[in-house]
A and B are shown apart, each in its own frame.
Chain A
Amino acid sequence: MIQLEDVSFSYDGVYSALVGVSLQIDDGESVAIMGNNGAGKTTLVKHFNGLLRPDHGRVIVNGVDARRRSVAELSKEIGLVWQNPDHQLFLDTVRKEIVFGLRNLGYSAEEADARCDMVLKDLHLEELAERSPFALSGGERKRVCLASVLATEPKVLALDEPTIGQDAGQKLRLARLLQDMNRKGCTVVVVTHDIEFVIENFPRTVAMSRGRIVADGKTSSVLSDSNAIALCSLSPPQMTVAAQSMNRLFPEVSPRMTALSEVEEAIVRILGGR
């Protein structure tokens, strides 16, 4: 469980990146963090594993104040997957890259190898195991980074913009993988601008703007809240746009729908079906 209590943070002492943020993410939850550029999403996530320490307020990870623990300790419980894979890849094969993090966190060589094999299989990266990460495509490099974090089996998995540069097929695979992880009890937190990805995969959404949380709750209610959408400069989900235009013609239809199934139902109802 991750708890943030009234967390404020500023990079330079002048401009506040986070202002009084309170947030609780329970074990086994699946949460999307959305917001406009510069809203403080990445800053927020960096507080989870102690890369950034709050100027005010507290961060509590699994019941223990994060202040007392090093980044390396926290990283055993919280895996962060970064936006830019090039920031972490530096070894000459994909396998070494995955084993590196495991060895740092204290796993034996055999254990690390076994876990590496498993995760390579899970992410369909077996053929790439002996290739140089630098020779891979952007999307592949991103998956190698994901693999290196998944291999540590963190209790909380936080991903920063995981869908950028991934084609529809990869996105679907990623979604399935995250759902799988979540089903196994892993808490999944994702920072993204990809609104359809959120609607389909994340039951809870936290919307941020200018370092503050402006909405937090069920994804369908947060993303159909036109105020939150405007503050976060998101474009509303297509289904919400459809619902809103239907609402103008048929006031009995709710303008706040996000899922295809809801809209379908409404259309059927208007047409006099069941």
Chain B
Amino acid sequence: MSFLEVFQYSRIDSPLHRLDPRSKLVMVIVCSAASLLFLNIVPLLIVLSCLVPLIALSHSLGRWFKSMRGLIFLVAFIVIFNTLLSSVQYPFSYSIALALRLIALMTSFSLFFLTVQPDHLSQALIQMRVKFEFAFAMSMAMRYVPTLGQEAYAIMDAQKARGVELDKGNALKRIRNTVPIIVPLIIVSIRRALLIAESMESRGFGSTHKRTYMDRLYFRRSDWLVVAVSLVVLVFLVYVRFILGLPEWMLWQLPF
């Protein structure tokens, strides 16, 4: 699961970390739109070559590489299956483009999750007029993803010690083997949710309806700049894709 690492906030300082979550959200939406607009190898490589410097700007290249290494298996899976099963003219070329799109999408989203502190995310949501309870639930959900992961590992260990062989047997047996993992995971999560709810209420959660906030987010000039550039890029990409059409060399495909 190491490819998920790129979706975890890294507590470092970088130009991207300092941006407002809202401006980063706009940027990320544009980046992922760019990855979704094209399905040819050349434009996707261009998108990626714009994204990687942004990852570098957030001082997270190491993590990104590690995640990509973890992704190799999935990418190989996508390429092999699409090559074998798809009915387009050049299936291999098409599968490579699909894999590139996956990588570009993951990289775009990771730009957001790597650099946005969970607290700031909920604050950003609140300032975007999302109700506090929902924003809080959202940031809590994010906060508990790694915890749930650890819990899953602990459960796997516990079941292995009772003779459950998770990676043995045919497909059906393997699916059946997940039951002893999933059930305790759900139970533990429900128990924890109840505990958290109780402890939150006992600390006065929801007692006042008018909240004030210690930290507030402010858009700075750099944030406006990011939003403006992102929007210009988006308009340009849409124009190229739908009205102008891609030049010949960008439509290049592998001949098989």
Binding site for B on A (CB under 8 A): 46, 49, 51, 70-72, 75-76, 79-80, 82, 84, 86-90, 100-101, 104-105, 134, 148-149
Q: Out of A76, A87, A89, A105, which one reaches B154, CB within 8 Å?
A: A87
Choose among B154, B161, B180 the residue with the greatest number of A CB atoms under 10 Å from its CB.
Answer: B161
Q: Are B184 and A87 in contact (CB under 8 A)?
A: yes
The verdict on A80 contacting B161 (CB below 8 Å), with A87-B155, A88-B155 known, is: yes
The verdict on A86 contacting B184 (CB below 8 Å), with A70-B165, A72-B165 known, is: yes
Q: Out of B154, B158, B163, B187, which one reaches A134, CB within 8 Å?
A: B187
Nearest CB on B from A230, distance (A): 30
Q: For the complex, what is the distance from the CA of A60 to the CA of B199, rounded to whole Å?
A: 45
Q: Are B158 and A82 in contact (CB under 8 A)?
A: yes
Q: For the complex, what is the distance from the CA of A231 to the CA of B119, rounded to whole Å?
A: 37
Q: For the complex, what is the distance from the CA of A148 to the CA of B158, rounded to whole Å?
A: 12
Q: Out of B157, B159, B179, B183, which one reaches A46, CB within 8 Å?
A: B157
Q: For the complex, what is the distance from the CA of A171 to the CA of B172, rounded to whole Å?
A: 42
With a CB–CB cut-off of 8 A, which chain B residues contact A76? 163
Nearest A residue to B191 via CB reads A86
The verdict on A88 contacting B184 (CB below 8 Å), with A46-B157, A51-B157, A82-B158 known, is: yes
Nearest CB on A from B138, distance (A): 26
Q: For the complex, what is the distance from the CA of A51 to the CA of B157, rounded to whole Å?
A: 6
Nearest CB on A from B167, distance (A): 10
With a CB–CB cut-off of 8 A, which chain A residues contact B61? none
With a CB–CB cut-off of 8 A, which chain A residues contact B158? 82, 87-88
Q: For the complex, what is the distance from the CA of A148 to the CA of B164, rounded to whole Å?
A: 14
With a CB–CB cut-off of 8 A, which chain B residues contact A49? 161
Nearest A residue to B179 via CB reads A90
Q: For the complex, what is the distance from the CA of A105 to the CA of B188, rounded to whole Å?
A: 26
Q: Are A51 and B160 in contact (CB under 8 A)?
A: yes
With a CB–CB cut-off of 8 A, which chain B residues contact A70? 165
Q: Is B216 an interface residue (CB 8 A)?
A: no
The verdict on A101 contacting B163 (CB below 8 Å), with A86-B191, A87-B154 known, is: yes
Q: Is B11 an interface residue (CB 8 A)?
A: no
Q: Are A72 and B163 in contact (CB under 8 A)?
A: yes
Q: Sorted from nearest, which 6 A-B pairs have the closest CB atoms?
A: A104-B163, A90-B183, A101-B162, A87-B158, A88-B158, A80-B161
With a CB–CB cut-off of 8 A, which chain A residues contact B162? 75, 88, 100-101, 104-105, 148-149
Q: Are A86 and B163 in contact (CB under 8 A)?
A: no
Q: Are A84 and B154 in contact (CB under 8 A)?
A: yes
25 CB < 8 A contacts A-B: A46-B157, A49-B161, A51-B157, A51-B160, A51-B161, A70-B165, A71-B160, A72-B163, A72-B164, A75-B162, A79-B161, A80-B161, A82-B154, A87-B151, A87-B154, A87-B158, A87-B188, A88-B155, A88-B158, A88-B180, A88-B184, A90-B179, A90-B183, A100-B162, A101-B162
Choose among A46, A71, A82, A134 the residue with the greatest number of B CB atoms under 10 Å from its CB.
Answer: A71
B141-169 interface (Cβ within 8 A of A): 151, 154-155, 157-165
Knowing that A71-B165, A87-B158, A100-B162 touch, tell me 7 more A-B residue pairs with CB under 8 angstroms: A70-B165, A72-B160, A82-B154, A86-B191, A88-B158, A89-B184, A104-B162
